[in-house]
Structure 1
């Protein structure tokens, strides 16, 4: 009888080992894509953009980067959500275009990164921006960069900020961003990927 059970036990062991190996491979890949992110510093930009969400983390970095790069425009995604409160407040207090013509706030539709990429593509065309730097959290760089490349006919550089996450929060983000990255590659936004775009991410 024991001999009859050995093949089944061996199969379970092999299956478990394969699953463990696949999980480890995914975890290492996710770590490189969403945590150990390397971006190329922008040398210049017509506009510095802050993507919506985690504005306590992103807004100040976007402002400092705008000053550093000498960008004419500060562009902010206005979402009216709790995580974007400081950016939304900044937009509300800088809504007078006659005084703050260098601050451009927009509300994406739909209210996600796809909507932001679409809106930014239109703004880039409208303002004739040739170079843009997009600021977002490091876990979001890869997916957002793909969407920007699909929608913006300008040279885009991605700039990352670092959230204060626990291990479990990072793991959750790895899962979310893996699914999101697959989606934006399988179902591109703004039609076919734009040609002639220099994307650094």
Structure 2
């Protein structure tokens, strides 16, 4: 055995350096790929433009400043009604019972389960009851693609998405959550 093959010798050191460079290059490529995928799916999703008019605006439950966006779209005349997904605590609010919020007609609903899949099922049921053929979903960018997928499995009409701002400090947890929920939507829960 030559001196260069001894552990710690020059050729052993070169092999370790080469291996380290290969591992670092692979990690860099994986990180770049995950970053591009994250940006495309959750930060800047590719969404079609909103129509001038839809049958209903539906505000999904979840984080972010969704309600003002939904109400503003209604004030612009994009739809005659805003359906708002509310929590157990909100279902008994006076504005839900009055059917109006800030002079905008609203319809409150609480899904069971209180998930995007549960909301999609309720939206489809309400669409059948009310004859809705087009929906503008109001959500945050991180949920937009998955919400569209979920609703498209239950509702055959046109689906559009308007996004509300998500506070910067919620992005890390929401992206991690959306990765898991998106994988689940594509593998485990593939029906309405």
TM normalised by structure 2 equals: 0.81
Q: Aligned equivalents of 1:135 and 1:189: distance in 2?
A: 22
Once the two structures are superposed, residues 143-166 of structure 1 have per-residue CA deviations (whole angstroms, 9 ceiling, x without a partner) of 111111111122111111112214
- Do the aligned residues in 1 keep the contact of 2:43 with 2:142 (CA within 8 Å)? yes
Matching residue of 1:170: 171
For 1:22-33, list aligned pairs within 5 A: 22-33=30-41
Q: Aligned equivalents of 1:187 and 1:152: distance in 2?
A: 19
Deviation beyond 4 Å, 4+ runs, structure 1: none
The total of aligned residue pairs comes to 180
Report how far residue 172 of structure 1 moved: 3.4
Pick from 50, 59, 73: which aligns with 1:50? 59
Matching residue of 1:130: 133
Q: Aligned equivalents of 1:134 and 1:21: distance in 2?
A: 35
Is 1:35 the counterpart of 2:79? The answer is: no
Matching residue of 2:3: none
Q: Secondary structure at the match of 1:103?
A: strand
Q: Aligned equivalents of 1:153 and 1:37: distance in 2?
A: 21
Structure 2: where are the runs of 5+ without partners?
1-5
- Do the aligned residues in 2 keep the contact of 1:108 with 1:119 (CA within 8 Å)? yes
Relative distance call for 1:70 and 1:176 in structure 2 (3 A) is: closer
Structure 1: where are the runs of 5+ without partners?
82-87, 192-201
For 1:61-76, list aligned pairs within 5 A: 61-76=69-84
Matching residue of 2:110: 107
Report how far residue 116 of structure 1 moved: 0.8
Once the two structures are superposed, residues 54-94 of structure 1 have per-residue CA deviations (whole angstroms, 9 ceiling, x without a partner) of 36x1101101102223422210111146xxxxxx27x6213
TM normalised by structure 1 equals: 0.78
Matching residue of 1:195: none
Q: Which moved more, 1:130-139 or 1:37-46?
A: 37-46
Pick from 134, 137, 149: which aligns with 1:146? 149
CA RMSD, aligned part only? 2.4
Q: Aligned equivalents of 1:8 and 1:34: distance in 2?
A: 38
The structure that has the greater radius of gyration is 2
Report how far residue 5 of structure 1 moved: 4.4
Matching residue of 1:197: none
